[in-house]
Structure 1
Amino acid sequence: MEAASRIENLPFTLAELRRAYAEGVSPEAVVAEAFRRLEAAADPGILILETRDDALAAAAALGTPDGRPLWGIPFVVKDNIDVAGHPTTAACPDFAYAARDDALVVSRLKDAGAILIGKANLDQFATGLVGVRSPYPVPRNAIDPDLVPGGSSSGSAVAVARGIAAFSLGTDTAGSGRVPAALNNIVGLKPTLGALSSSGVVPACRTLDTISIFAMTVTEAFEIHGIAAGFDPRDAYSRPVPVRPLTAMHPGIRIGVPDEATLETFGDSAQAEHFRETLVRLRTAGASVTEIDFEPFYAVARMLYEGAWLAERVAAVGKRLVDAPETLHPTTRAVLEPGLTLTAVDAFEGLYRLKALARRCDELMEDVDLLCVPTIPTVVTLSEIAADPIGPNSRLGTYTNFVNLLDLCGIAVPTGLRSDGRPGSLTVLARKGEDHRAASAAMAIETGTLGATGWPRPATRPVAGAVEADEIAIAVCGAHMSGLPLNPELTSRGARFLKACRTAPDYSLHALAGGPPFRPGMVRKRGGGAAIEVEVWALPRAAFGDFMAGIPSPLAIGSLALDDGSLVKGFLCEPHGLEGARDITRFGGWRSYLRDRDKPQPTGARAHAV
């Protein structure tokens, strides 16, 4: 009885399941508990297909723990993703076919030891953000039964939010991996396009589709991402995207957010208030927040259901829209039918317009490292979507539709309850390939209980930076530090923050003559030196030579001793460069010197010269 009670209260997270297995809990017991929870939810809309027999057989076949990262971890997949031996429906029974093979991502997860317990409901053909466009029973929102569950990956999100599965796979073209996460108080990771194979996935817009990941925490979602990711030569849209480790959010990281004039919440004051409160938390965590005009991003978002991409959705559905329209959900059909009238000219004009808007968006992002937006502008109730099946759905895509069109990656993260008790969510967006940077920032603000379970969120500890084999650690002490003028010379080359620390107490620091940009020079001393504040970044080896070529005399890269006794490459200054420089060692670092230099001076006081 005690053992049964223990497993009924066991949080289905990677960390807790691993702990339970180490204590002797069996995979068969975990699978049985997953199906007990599914039955207890009394929600026939979560899964289109249960794979109970296969799951129990897979659990029994695992044997003893063998070190695989997902050994015994239960998961579900959206039913537009193939699972060998089971039908793939895309929520259209007439479309269903028997899958011969697992989708490559499913295969990778199973190879890592994960156990599939079912295929999840969705908006038909992944067309929708509300989760109600299905001929099967509609899943109930795990947090508030008056709200839509979010789509199109509705069942995938609800299964995680209710603690039935430790993680799940969705897909994300227009926000289907983020909107349901926001509405169900979980994490939704939308990776860089091409990082996860689309082999074995029914397309919605093949040029924009990606498998997405739902989990309870940022670190667990990112761990799943690392296991699932990998180049697939069979998928023409796959591309090699390195998976970098998570680190603590670096101080001074520059985050762009919608300005007051373009923050869109459709009159939802609770959402606007909660977003502003979350920005305060980001600033407190050390971020530099800049407001920007978001209208160009909204213009890109509106294009997703116009021209080229609506035509692409029609292509994904195929002849069914003309030959068997009665097999489609009425709203899916209404959304897609205008695409039948589009021409090739319309498609190319759309591509031209996107190119122009993308250029403008790139310009707006030049001075920021990340974007942060509300995951959704407002909540949508079941009654609202029943009265208007199109309008509220479109509103949910305000902050999601533009992301894949602009080749960004992102992660939606719970940010606690709004003032009205409904779940809050923020999405952190980054440029392609910078999934680790978005997730590292998201770790700094995730909060609240896990999904609808009431389980407490584990404390997030700063991740110790580790250098990958294809990287070089480099210490910077001045204008290349985060938030300072030359930091983009690192970030634009794919560098990632590892840690802030000090040198060994053997250096002097000097404000060099000239500028802007103003720079310090650090010189090693035989005696009488000090420990100087530095940041250590991991720079891809392939970019190191190009970075070195831009370093002006008298600065150079040498070996730098840190306070922990380790040696890294770092900025040093040749002695001849100290002519006309000012010794600022007593400040202990460039940032402290800048704060002193820039503080208001008493009347008649002479400002420090650089």
Structure 2
Amino acid sequence: MSFPAMLQITPLLTACRNGALTPTDIVREVLARIDAYHAVDPAVWITRVSPERLLARAAELESLSADDLPLYGVPFAVKDNIDVAGLPTTAACPAFAYEAKESAEVVSRLEAAGAIVVGKTNLDQFATGLVGMRSPYGQPHSVFSAEHVSGGSSSGSAVAVAAGLVSFALGTDTAGSGRVPAAFNNIVGLKPSRGALSNYGLVPACASIDCISVFAASTADAWCVEQCAAAPDARSPYSRALAPRALPAGPFRFGVLREQDRFFDGNTYNAALYEQAISQLKKMGGIEVEIDFTPLKETAELLYSGPFVVERLAAVKEFYKNNRQDMDPVVGKIIDGAAHYSATDVFDGIYRQHQLKQIADRMWKQFDVMVVPTAPRIVTKKEVIDQPVVANSMLGTYTNFVNLLDMAACAVPAGFSPDGMPFGVTFIAPALTDCDLASLAGRFHKEAQHTTGLSGTHLMTADDNAAQPAPGNILVAVVGAHLKGFPLHWQLEQEQAVLKATTRTAADYRLFALPNATPPKPGLVRERGFSGPGLEVEVYELSAGGFGRFVAGLPQPMAIGKISLADGSEVCGFLCSEAIARSGKEITASGGWRYAKI
């Protein structure tokens, strides 16, 4: 098969599971793309995994079953302040570099799910900056313009995804480093709730608010990665379980900036694109509510204009003490500012942070999510050279407050200005709403028909391959014993069913292991207002006659109905009597029948 411009997870996974691709094919394609893009931007990578090691990893995966691994053969990049065993971790500072003896917990979990680490990407040194210009390894640029910044600090990670070099990339986000680069490269940046992903194996910037983040072409891909990577970890002090918290059911209320709070640094095109985003959300049934940005702005100022800079010193105190001269001049000067604050100042800052959080928590009674520009505008490299601190500060206008107030966020594309540069908006919601937040942001991304990445193509969602069956044919989603490799799959094979996609249901479905079923089967039920991980399903295309024969012998308590998939589309699928389903063991948290331990 030909590779899509953006290496989205579901098409690759489906191709591997039906035999059209192998991990070796994917590795060779990725190596070719990386080599070609090096001529465009040589500053994306700091360290790359050798071709020999990548091919060995592909061969290892080919000895395993693609059906058992949710990220089988999927290539990804890692920001170079996150450890990967056997590779150096530099944090973009050569004098700081060390070889990692073990991988960060998040990397280990993603590899265990079948993903392939391709290499370590460039960043603003010690993850200090939103520009992508503070690295001795070069300065990546936006995939749309060599004159404009890539955004930072997760510069190389965003570019690697936007250029179609990998399917997803890990970044980090303290003040917006997982969102600003997403906006400047027309991709998704999912910033999980603080602690949902373990920070074990991360070189900290501000340990109390750091989040490992995910860059991807779509929110569905980013959420899939977060689910695979998330787990409590006692080695990570701020770790916590990702216990899903639902956004309210029904029409959603979205907070927007008041006219007097809208700041685009003179860019009238971005102001108009923000208005268009608001109009699109109202078309989607959203109810617009104005928000008072004042407490959020004050919170943002605590991060760089207040005592929280001391935490950046705490993160690298020994290195700073002995190697200050080896640091990037701008980064060093920022950390120098810690000397201006006393312990009393730090505690005063913490007290004010918690006061502001109480104010922000009360704001959620007025609306369910807030939608803000990801950044006022993109800047040129020359602007950053001329005014490095001023330009960087402006980029954090709508991002700096989020982690201090313990919120989840998802940045998505929101169009282009006439000069060809991208604009993005960020959906923000209370902690632990990650699933619903990603789903809503994904609906916006798709329904507004915005593109993703450099390719200029429209978003390929999880089930786009399945969305258009041949005339007269019917799509059916299976969730249990009819999955490939399970006891009843032969019933699909005898009807010459074609696998169109491996995807997930919407978040409001529960899955139960049915009691006394032979062979073992699950029961799928929908519960409005519930927010779970979504359940993995396989979508097959059958002829009308084949579909009729397939469902003719359907036993009780099963029934055929419409199932909503993760992007909001619907296909036929197996549903179950709720009373009987709930008499069994709930296995929703497993993410699907294939992964449940019965």
TM-score after normalising by structure 1:
0.75
* Residue among 463, 476, 497 paired with 2:506: 463
| Residue of structure 2 in register with 1:273 after alignment | 272
8 A Cα contact 1:250 1:286, kept in partner: no
Shift of 1:495: 6.5
| Residue of structure 2 in register with 1:210 after alignment | 211
Aligned AA (1:254): R
Q: CA, structure 1 residues 426+97, in 2 after alignment: closer, same or farther (shift >3 Å)?
A: same
Shift of 1:321: 2.6
3-state DSSP class of the match of 1:390?
helix
| Residue of structure 1 in register with 2:137 after alignment | 136
| Residue of structure 1 in register with 2:416 after alignment | 417
| Residue of structure 1 in register with 2:21 after alignment | 25
Distance 1:343 1:312 in 2: 12
Q: CA, structure 1 residues 567+106, in 2 after alignment: closer, same or farther (shift >3 Å)?
A: closer
Question: What does the per-residue CA deviation read over 1:253-297, in whole Å, with 9 as the maximum and x for residues that have no partner?
Answer: 111111111112122111111001100000000011101111110
8 A Cα contact 2:435 2:507, kept in partner: no
8 A Cα contact 1:190 1:410, kept in partner: yes
Shift of 1:365: 2.6
8 A Cα contact 1:274 1:419, kept in partner: no
8 A Cα contact 2:508 2:527, kept in partner: no
Shift of 1:360: 2.3
Distance 2:250 2:118 in 1: 42
8 A Cα contact 1:11 1:17, kept in partner: no
Matches within 5 A, 1:11-410: 11-21=6-16, 22-41=18-37, 42=39, 43-52=41-50, 53-63=52-62, 65-67=65-67, 68-243=69-244, 251-410=250-409
Once the two structures are overlaid, the 10-residue window that deviates more, 35-44 or 165-174, is 35-44
Shift of 1:474: 6.2
Distance 2:237 2:282 in 1: 41
Distance 1:407 1:146 in 2: 34
8 A Cα contact 1:143 1:451, kept in partner: no
3-state DSSP class of the match of 1:444?
helix
8 A Cα contact 2:525 2:578, kept in partner: no
Aligned AA (1:114): A
Question: What does the per-residue CA deviation read over 1:563-587, in whole Å, with 9 as the maximum and x for residues that have no partner?
Answer: x99558xxxxxxxxxxxxxxxxxxx
Distance 1:464 1:386 in 2: 45
8 A Cα contact 1:250 1:497, kept in partner: no
3-state DSSP class of the match of 2:260?
coil
3-state DSSP class of the match of 2:189?
strand
8 A Cα contact 1:187 1:214, kept in partner: yes
3-state DSSP class of the match of 1:107?
helix
Question: What does the per-residue CA deviation read over 1:144-172, in whole Å, with 9 as the maximum and x for residues that have no partner?
Answer: 22210000000000000000000000011
Aligned AA (2:452): L
| Residue of structure 1 in register with 2:428 after alignment | 429
Distance 2:362 2:263 in 1: 21
Q: CA, structure 1 residues 252+320, in 2 after alignment: closer, same or farther (shift >3 Å)?
A: same
Distance 1:251 1:29 in 2: 44
Question: What does the per-residue CA deviation read over 1:336-366, in whole Å, with 9 as the maximum and x for residues that have no partner?
Answer: 1111231101101111222222222223332
Q: CA, structure 1 residues 565+112, in 2 after alignment: closer, same or farther (shift >3 Å)?
A: closer
| Residue of structure 1 in register with 2:495 after alignment | none
8 A Cα contact 1:251 1:287, kept in partner: no
Distance 1:84 1:459 in 2: 33
Shift of 1:208: 0.5
Question: What does the per-residue CA deviation read over 1:302-324, in whole Å, with 9 as the maximum and x for residues that have no partner?
Answer: 11014432000011121333332
Count of residue correspondences: 481
Aligned AA (1:32): R
Distance 2:27 2:299 in 1: 43
3-state DSSP class of the match of 1:409?
strand
Question: What does the per-residue CA deviation read over 1:194-248, in whole Å, with 9 as the maximum and x for residues that have no partner?
Answer: 1000000000000000110000001110011100001111212101122579x9x
Distance 2:531 2:214 in 1: 25
Distance 1:123 1:190 in 2: 18
Distance 2:260 2:368 in 1: 22
Distance 2:576 2:241 in 1: 36
Shift of 1:24: 2.8
| Residue of structure 2 in register with 1:533 after alignment | none
Structure number with larger C-alpha Rg: 1
3-state DSSP class of the match of 2:76?
strand
Q: CA, structure 1 residues 343+469, in 2 after alignment: closer, same or farther (shift >3 Å)?
A: farther
Unaligned runs of 5+ in 1: 476-489, 499-535, 537-563, 569-610
3-state DSSP class of the match of 2:147?
coil
Greater relative CO, 1 or 2 (CA 8 Å, sep 6+): 2
Q: In percent, how many aligned pairs have the same letter?
A: 42
Shift of 1:454: 2.9
8 A Cα contact 1:77 1:156, kept in partner: yes
Unaligned runs of 5+ in 2: 464-504, 514-523, 535-563, 565-574, 580-598
Distance 2:122 2:351 in 1: 36
| Residue of structure 2 in register with 1:453 after alignment | 455
Aligned AA (2:56): A
Distance 1:469 1:131 in 2: 47
Shift of 1:377: 1.3
Aligned AA (1:80): N
Aligned AA (2:149): V
Distance 1:195 1:495 in 2: 16
3-state DSSP class of the match of 1:54?
helix
8 A Cα contact 2:162 2:185, kept in partner: yes
3-state DSSP class of the match of 2:95?
helix
Distance 1:434 1:469 in 2: 23
Distance 2:48 2:206 in 1: 27
